[in-house]
């Protein structure tokens, strides 16, 4: 990596998660990160904050511009970013296609469209990324370094951008599905008579432990599920409900993932 600055535009839930990951991973480097966000005012070491793009230093030449505003907010800010069109743009904005950036920043502009998730804050994002034909090998390597600093990266073929909506529905958004399931498990535990603190502890530690086991064991989710399911046992009684062909959890998840994919397409 060089030490040219990074510009991050929008630093809410996801921008903060990425910034935390970068600060953690890049702390030994002297690369400056310039952050534009209405709600951030305090500078920290190499992080310089501005409330508006108009406040950025005149002589700023970022090597990479990370776009992390809401899809509804990008139209307002993109005209003021045209002056950075020699940089490589890295968008994490759901739904916005590579063609959107070509239309606003010029056909020559290098753009990577990506979809991280909030575990980025602890270096555990899984990020999918697709680039346009203007991204050089060096720029791709730099983006890859930044995305690897917040977790794992899965590059998809340049001609497979259409997959991004479905990928967002099973990674970017899916963090919320798992947390909702955890919340529901805690509430159900209380409904069947557990003290709330006990229910919360059991639900959360089972979730964290299951993820750690999956990570460490090298076994598939199916193998790990079967290892806790004995014939005529307690777990099987629950799984027979969850795994019903009609009205089971898979059917419900499928409906949710389709709804998220459709919404991602609408945002483009």
Ligand X SMILES: NC(=O)c1ccc[n+]([C@@H]2O[C@H](COP(=O)([O-])OP(=O)(O)OC[C@H]3O[C@@H](n4cnc5c(N)ncnc54)[C@H](OP(=O)(O)O)[C@@H]3O)[C@@H](O)[C@H]2O)c1
Return residues touching ligand X (CB under 6 A): 10-15, 36-39, 52, 68-71, 73, 76-77, 92-94, 115-118, 172
Q: Which residue is nearest to ligand X (CB)?
A: 12
Give the nearer residue to ligand X in terms of CB position, either 119 or 248.
Answer: 119
In the bound complex, what is the minimum distance in angstroms from residue 211's beta carbon to ligand X? Answer: 18
| CA dist 52 → 6, 68, 105, 235 (Å) | 16, 14, 19, 54
Say if CB 31 and CB 48 are below 8 A apart.
no
Please answer whether residues 65 and 84 qualify as being in contact, where contact means their C-beta atoms are separated by less than 8 angstroms.
yes
> Minimum CB separation from ligand X for residue 170, in Å?
12
Shortest distance, CB of residue 69 to ligand X, whole angstroms? 4
Query: Considering Cα of 11, then 184, then 122, then 84, what sign does the dihedral take?
Result: negative
What is the 3 state secondary structure string of 170-239?
HCCCHHHHHHHHHHHHHHHHHHCCCCHHHHHHHHHHHHHHHHHHHHHHCCCHHHHHHHCCCCCCHHHHHH
Give Rg (Cα) of the chain.
21
Residue closer to ligand X, measured from CB, 36 or 88: 36
Q: How far is the CB of 70 from ligand X (least distance, A)?
A: 5
Residue 30 tokens read as 């002297």
| Cβ at position 229, least distance to ligand X in Å | 32
Shortest spacing between CB 264 and ligand X, in angstroms: 8
173 vs 199 by CB, closer to ligand X: 173
Q: 113 or 131, CB closer to ligand X?
A: 113
Q: Which own/partner contact pairs does 211-215 have at CB distance under 8 Å and 24+ positions apart?
A: none
β-bridge partners, 113: 91, 130
103 vs 243 by CB, closer to ligand X: 103
In the complex, the smallest distance separating the C-beta of residue 205 from ligand X, rounded to whole angstroms, is: 24
Q: Give the three-state DSSP class for 114.
A: strand
Q: Report the residue number, 118 or 132, with the smaller CB distance to ligand X.
A: 118
Report how far residue 132's alpha carbon sits from residue 106's, in angstroms, rounded to the nearest whole number. Answer: 12
For ligand X, the closer CB: 83 or 225? 83
């Amino acid at each position: 990596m060089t030490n040219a600055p990074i510009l991050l535009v929008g630093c809410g839930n996801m921008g903060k998660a990425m910034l935390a990951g970068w600060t953690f991973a890049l702390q030994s480097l002297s690369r400056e990160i310039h952050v534009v966000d209405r709600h951030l005012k305090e500078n920290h070491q190499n992080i310089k904050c501005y409330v508006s793009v108009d406040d950025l230093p005149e002589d700023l030449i970022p090597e990479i511009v990370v776009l992390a505003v809401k899809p509804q907010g990008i139209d307002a800010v993109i005209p003021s970013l045209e002056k950075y069109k020699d940089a490589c743009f890295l968008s994490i904005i759901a739904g916005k296609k590579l063609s959107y950036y070509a239309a606003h920043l010029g056909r020559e502009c290098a753009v990577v469209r990506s979809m991280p998730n909030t575990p980025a804050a602890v270096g555990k994002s899984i990020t999918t990324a697709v680039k346009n034909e203007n991204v050089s090998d060096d720029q791709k390597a730099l983006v890859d370094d930044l995305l690897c600093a917040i977790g794992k990266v899965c590059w998809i073929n340049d001609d497979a951008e259409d997959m991004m909506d479905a990928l967002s529905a099973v990674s970017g958004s899916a963090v919320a599905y798992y947390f909702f399931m955890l919340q529901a498990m805690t509430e159900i535990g209380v409904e069947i008579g557990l003290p709330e603190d006990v229910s919360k502890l059991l639900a959360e530690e089972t979730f964290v432990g299951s993820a750690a086991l999956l990570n460490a064991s090298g076994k598939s989710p199916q193998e790990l599920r079967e290892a806790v399911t004995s014939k005529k046992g307690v777990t099987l009684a629950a799984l027979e409900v969850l795994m019903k062909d009609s009205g089971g959890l898979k059917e419900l998840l499928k409906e949710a993932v389709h709804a998220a994919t459709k919404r991602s397409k609408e945002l483009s």
